[in-house]
Amino acid sequence: MNLDDALVEALSIFLVESRELLEQMESILLHIEQTPDDIDTLNALFRVAHTIKGSAGLFGLDHIVGFTHVAESVLDKVRCGELKITADLIARLLEVRDHLSRLVEYVASHQDPSAEVHTDGDVLVQKLLSYLVQDLPKEGNSIPITQVAVLEKDKVEDSTTSSTHWHISLRFGRGVLKNGMDPLAFIRYLKTFGSIARIITLTDIVPPLSELDPEDFYLGFEIGFETSADKAMIEDAFAFVRDDANIRILPPHSKISEYLSLIQDIPGEDLRLGDLLVQCGTLTANELTSALKAQSAIRDSGQVTPVIGEVLLAQQVVRPAVIEAALEKQIGLSLR
Amino acid sequence: MNQVSSSPSVLISIDGEMSVFTIRDIATRLLEPLSNGVGMEIDLTGVTEIDSAGLQLMIAVKKMASDHELPLRFVGHSSSVIRILDLCDLVGFFGDPVFIQRGAVS
């Protein structure tokens, strides 16, 4: 089978799978009012979006990934109990289903969606975002950055985050591979008793090939992990490698100060601030996305591009003290 | 591993295991074209197994190629390669088109 055939076949699997999932989504939505708190139903709904996003990503269908990502984030809030099922939300989610179905059929007919369809999608995304970023101030209501940053610093200790997942930060010894262990095996093992909500693989300190010792280990991982297991069970997953690794595990709803110390502890990898914040569970990917949008809107308007941290602050998406810690880190890195 | 020349870059296919046990040889072979200023298209169709050493090598190759502004593409990702990229969420890092095959996505 040549590559074209393989692609056509894989694509047809994607189409069949997506149509089935969207049918399932419709039938769930039509009955959900009777059992709005049933966790299996809510998980099934989330899984529809999650699976379509994942498969679309493998085909490079970025417009489907982008749209579905927003829907998925809303459904994630629903299944975590942060958003209640209302008639309004159900109507919105049915629109999501219809729009996704339209996008999938465009793929089936090998056409790009019309401008009209794109516009419909954008409108729907805006509506969905309102479920995610309700506390965002209206446009133009920006705040001088430095003042806020100082202002709230002392309040940090008491505040907990909305994050509902465990955060696992993994750094391994250089010689872990030579010692016969593959760190990825531990991550696969985690998946046997929970699910990985997010994983960020840190590739910064992998040297270019000419300087690489291919048997040394350079990768780091930041993982958002959902599980009903306790801390001891997660720690035990790393029992064999504990002496050869730096492992930090933060429970759900950790205090901001604990995420802060995590940011400060991370050995000097050249990380982008936005990623750091997402890794720390401080920000959802969505909050970051809308901040990035605001950043590029400012860039388009010809003003000097603010760093992402300032944009997030101006939108009051993250707590200023967290930003400050991350900025300190960036400055520290650039001084080296 | 076969090399088929086609300027300005060469096509290299990696077959079999791409793990810590085989990684030194593979690294040496991939280093040669890059050191001579030649880009590569690396065919991963025949990769039966890949571990984190293999993944790291892909990253290091990509970094060296971009440092030297040489063309580099990974193509024909086998299902084990797709699985590891998916596990580590690195499909976007490489930016190469990846095609799912039957059984590759669970």
Q: Which pLDDT belongs to residue A112?
A: 85
Contacting residues of B for A187, CB less than 8 Å apart: 87
Q: Are the beta carbons of B102 and A9 separated by less than 8 Å? A: yes
Q: Are the beta carbons of B105 and A217 separated by less than 8 Å? A: no
What tokens does A151 get? 């202002």
- Nearest-CA neighbor of B34 among B73, B70, B5? B70
Asked if residue A276 and residue A153 are part of one domain, the reply reads yes
Is B63 at the interface with chain A, CB within 8 A?
A: yes
Is B61 at the interface with chain A, CB within 8 A?
A: yes
Query: Are B40 and B58 in contact, with CB atoms under 8 Å apart?
Result: no
Q: CB A218: neighbour CB atoms within 10 A? A: 19
Cα–Cα dist B18/B20, whole Å: 7
Is B12 at the interface with chain A, CB within 8 A?
A: no
Q: Are the beta carbons of B100 and A182 separated by less than 8 Å? A: no
Question: When comparing pLDDT for A31 and A285, which is higher?
Answer: A31
Asked if residue A225 and residue A276 are part of one domain, the reply reads no
CA contacts within 13 A on the Cβ side of A6: 16
Contacts of A22-31 with CB under 8 Å at 24 or more apart are A22/A48, A22/A52, A22/A97, A22/A100, A22/A101, A22/A104, A24/A48, A25/A93, A25/A97, A26/A94, A26/A97, A29/A90, A29/A93, A29/A94, A29/A97
Asked if residue A259 and residue A201 are part of one domain, the reply reads no
Pick the last residue of a domain from A247, A262, A294: A247
How close B20 gets to chain A, by Cα (Å)? 6
CATH assignment of B3-94, given 3.90.700.10, 3.30.200.20, 3.40.50.2000, 3.30.750.24? 3.30.750.24
Dihedrals phi, psi of A75, to nearest 5 degrees: -65, -30
Put simply, the chain B residues between 30 and 59 with a CB less than 8 A from any chain A CB are 30-31, 34-35, 51-53, 55-57, 59
Q: Which pLDDT belongs to residue A262?
A: 57
Q: Looking at mean pLDDT, say which of A59-63, A249-253, A302-306, B54-58 comes out highest.
A: B54-58
Total count of domains within chain A: 3
- Which domain covers residue A263, as residue numbers? 137-163+253-336
- Please name the residue of chain B whose CA is at the shortest distance from the CA of residue A14: B100
pLDDT digits (tens, 9 = 90+) for A142-184: 333 333 333 333 333 334 555 677 888 888 999 999 888 889 9
| Distance in Å from the first CA to the final CA of chain B | 30
SS3 A78: helix
Asked if residue A279 and residue A221 are part of one domain, the reply reads no
- The total number of residues shown for chain A amounts to 336
Cα angle at A247 between A242 and A252, to 5 degrees? Answer: 130
- Please name the residue of chain A whose CA is at the shortest distance from the CA of residue B103: A10
Cα–Cα dist A298/A315, whole Å: 13
Q: Which pLDDT belongs to residue A69?
A: 85
Q: Are the beta carbons of A182 and B52 separated by less than 8 Å? A: yes
